[in-house]
Amino acid sequence: MTPLQRHFYVYMLSSVSGVLYVGVTNDLARRLHEDRSGIADGFTKRYHCHRLVWFEMTGDVNAAIAREKQIKGWRRSKKEELIREMNPSWADLAQDF
């Protein structure tokens, strides 16, 4: 990645009880650290959403934000289908980061 290239991630986190969180970030490793360490107050801290179950990357911030909004508007079943396409066992994908 050159200094002019940036990556943006749309991602889903899951809690042990199955609560889903959809977010967007330009630094997935940092964001996962914030969520897991409790630095980031909010939904992920309140509902213990710490397992990365799905993500996609783009170089366009506007596309990432639009995709996040699109997915947030979906029924839960459609979000689950998207997760199963990439990660059938709902394993924690964070080891890659």
* pLDDT above 90 (res 79): yes
What CATH homologous superfamily does 8-96 map to? GIY-YIG endonuclease (3.40.1440.10)
pLDDT tens per residue across span 54-67: 999 999 999 999 99
For residues 20 and 13, is the Cβ–Cβ distance under 8 A? Answer: yes
Q: What does the mean pLDDT of the chain come to?
A: 92
pLDDT score, position 3: 54
pTM of the predicted structure, to 2 decimals: 0.89
What the block records as the tokens of 4 is 């002019």
Residue 8: φ, ψ to 5°? -125, 140
